[in-house]
Structure 1
Amino acid sequence: MMRFRLTVEYDGRPFQGWQRQGHGRSVQQAIEDALFSICGEKTEVVAAGRTDAGVHGSAMPAHVEIERPFTPFRLMEALNARLKPQPVSILECAEAPGWHARFDCIQRRYIYRIINRRAPLALAAGMAWRVPAPLDADAMHAAAQRLVGRHDFTTFRSAQCQANSPLRTLDRLDVRREGDELLVFAAARSFLHHQVRSMVGCLKLVGQGKWSSDDLAAALAARDRAALGINAPPDGLCFVGASYPDLSVGFTLP
C-alpha cells in the first residue's frame, strides 16, 4: 500500500463542498471516482479541510492510499486525465508514507475576495463577492484584530457545526485593499463551520459604517449565533494553503 500527497485545485461552484455526501457531487467523490477508474480500488481521499458548497480551493492538501504501484507523476497525469471536464486539477503528487493531510496539519489559510464596485461581475462572477457600497478597508482591518487570538466563536459558527468545542485560536485576520478589491486573509490551526464567512460578513458591516469595532467585539462576546450580522456568500472564499511541521503547501499569506 502506497500513500501519496496530492495538492488539489478546484472551482467549488459545481460541487456540494469537499466532503462526499448523499445529495450531490463533491470534490472528494470526483477524485475517488477517478481513482477507481484508474486502479479499480475503492479508497478515501482525506483532505486538510472540508470546504462548503461553492467554496474554492487553490492548493488543498490531501492524501490517498492505493495498492497498485504508480510513480507520483504517472498518478497525477492519470488523475488529471480522468477528472476532465470537471473543474478539479491535481497540481502536485508525491509519495508521503505516514503523512496525514488532516491530523498533521498545524495551520490552514483562506483568502476571501470582495470586489467593491457598482458594476456587475463578468470575469469574477462566482469567484468573488460584489459589494456596491463603499467599504473602509482600514476600519475593517482594525476591527478584525478584535477577533484575533483564542476565543469562543459560537456567534460565528453555523448551527450545523459538528465541532466539539467553539473555542478556536485565530492566528491572523487581515483586510487589505488592492484597487477595487478587498482581500481578507485568515489563518488558524482550524476553523469552525462557516467561521470565515461569518467573520467576513460582519466585517463588511464595519466597512459600511453600520457596525463599529465595539459592535463586532460585542457580537463575539455574546456567544450567540443570533448576534451575527450577516454571513458572507461562499463565492469569494478560497482555501489557499496549509502548513505541517516540515512542510508548507500552497499560498503563504503576506
Structure 2
Amino acid sequence: MRLALGLSYRGTAYKGWQSQPGGGTVQDALEAALGRFAACEVRTVCAGRTDAGVHALNQVVHLDIDRERENYSWVRGTNTFLPDDIAVQWCQRVPDHFHARNGARGRRYAYLLLESPVRPALESGQLGWTFRPLDGARLRAAANVLIGEHDYSAFRSSECQALSPVKQLREISIRRQGAVWRLEFEGSAFLHHMVRNIMGCLIMVASGRRESAWLADVLASRDRKLAAPTFMPDGLHFLGPRYDAEWALPERTPPFDALPADTAVLAF
C-alpha cells in the first residue's frame, strides 16, 4: 500500500532533505526511523527538497510498504525513533497513483526576518536577520515585480537540477508583527535557492540600497551574477505543497500556530 505522511522538522542540524552517502539529512533520519518501526527497508519521496538549515511545517512524503498498521501507529511509532527536531504529524493511506512530488499543484514557503540592531539569540536559527530598517512600501513594490510566470534564472543556484527555469510565482504576501517580518511565497514550483536569492534582492530594495527598477532589470537579465548574494537559510520554512482536493490531505499542522506573525497584516 502507499502511505502519505506529513512531516515537520527544524533543519538547523541537518544537511538538507535529500539523502547523502554520509548521512546527516532529514530523509536519512526519517527512513531509518520508518525502517526500525516497520522492520524493513523504507524509501520515501518528498514534495519539496529543502536545503541545509531550512525548516518544514508540513513536508509531505509518500512511501510504499507491505506492513499493516493503523494511521496513528505510523505517526507515534515512527516518532519513537526520530530525533526531537523531526516529527511525523499525520499519516493517510492514498491510492498507488498518488505522487508526493509530481502530484503537487503548488508549493508554499514562509521567510521570517528579524529587523533589529541586535542579532537573534533565543530565536537563533529560526529567523533571518537584517540590522538595516526596511520600508514596507518599497518591499511590497519590489515583491510585485516578481509575480507571474517568468524565467527565474537570475535567482537560480548553479547546482539547480530543474529542467526549466520558468516557474509561476503566484503570490508574495507580506506581514509584520513587531520586529518580525513574514513573507510568504506561493508558486507552481521553486528553483534551488530561489526564495533565498529573492530575499537578498528584496532586502536590498526595502533598505533603500536599490530601486524596484533594478530588480526588474535583474529578473529580465536572467543572470545570477547581477542579483544579490544568497540570503541566510535560517528564516526559511517550507509550509508544504498544494494538492488537488480529491486527495483530502492536511494543509496545516499544529506547528503553524507556533510560527510568528501568522495573522498580523502589514499596513502601508
TM-score band, normalised by the shorter chain?
over 0.9
Runs ≥4 residues deviating over 4 A: 251-254
Which of 82, 87, 90 matches 2:88?
A: 90
1:187 aligns with 2:186: yes
What SS is found at the alignment partner of 1:163?
A: coil
Structure 1's unaligned 5+ residue stretches are: none
The residue number in structure 2 matching 1:201 is: 200
Counterpart Cα distance in 2 of 1:200 and 1:9: 23
1:217 aligns with 2:212: no
Counterpart Cα distance in 2 of 1:107 and 1:80: 27
Counterpart Cα distance in 2 of 1:146 and 1:93: 39
| Displacement of 1:44 | 1.3
What aligned pairs does 1:233-252 form with structure 2 within 5 A after superposition? Answer: 233-246=232-245, 247=248, 249-250=251-252
> Mean Cα displacement is larger for which, 101-110 or 241-250?
241-250
What aligned pairs does 1:47-196 form with structure 2 within 5 A after superposition? Answer: 47-83=46-82, 85-98=83-96, 99-196=98-195
8 Å CA contact 1:242, 1:250 repeated in 2: no
What SS is found at the alignment partner of 2:75?
A: helix
| Displacement of 1:172 | 0.8
| Displacement of 1:241 | 2.4
User: Which amino acid is 2:188 matched to?
Assistant: R
What SS is found at the alignment partner of 1:171?
A: strand
Structure 2's unaligned 5+ residue stretches are: 257-261, 264-268
User: CA offsets per residue over residues 29-85 of structure 1, 9 Å max, x none?
Assistant: 1110011112222221111100000000011111111111111111111101111x3
| Displacement of 1:193 | 0.3
| Displacement of 1:86 | 3.9
Counterpart Cα distance in 1 of 2:62 and 2:166: 27
8 Å CA contact 2:48, 2:241 repeated in 1: no
| Displacement of 1:119 | 2.3
User: Which amino acid is 1:132 matched to?
Assistant: F
TM-score (norm 1): 0.95
Q: Percent identity?
A: 37
| Displacement of 1:97 | 2.1
Counterpart Cα distance in 2 of 1:202 and 1:250: 29
8 Å CA contact 1:138, 1:175 repeated in 2: no
Counterpart Cα distance in 1 of 2:21 and 2:154: 28
What SS is found at the alignment partner of 2:61?
A: strand
Task: Give the alignment's Cα RMSD to 1 decimal.
Answer: 1.6
Counterpart Cα distance in 1 of 2:116 and 2:238: 24
8 Å CA contact 1:137, 1:177 repeated in 2: no
| Displacement of 1:23 | 4.0
8 Å CA contact 1:60, 1:250 repeated in 2: no
User: Which amino acid is 2:143 matched to?
Assistant: A
What SS is found at the alignment partner of 1:32?
A: helix
Number of aligned positions between the proteins: 252
> Mean Cα displacement is larger for which, 39-48 or 140-149?
39-48
What SS is found at the alignment partner of 1:203?
A: helix
What SS is found at the alignment partner of 2:242?
A: strand
Counterpart Cα distance in 1 of 2:140 and 2:173: 6
8 Å CA contact 1:137, 1:176 repeated in 2: no
> Mean Cα displacement is larger for which, 115-124 or 181-190?
115-124
What SS is found at the alignment partner of 2:172?
A: strand
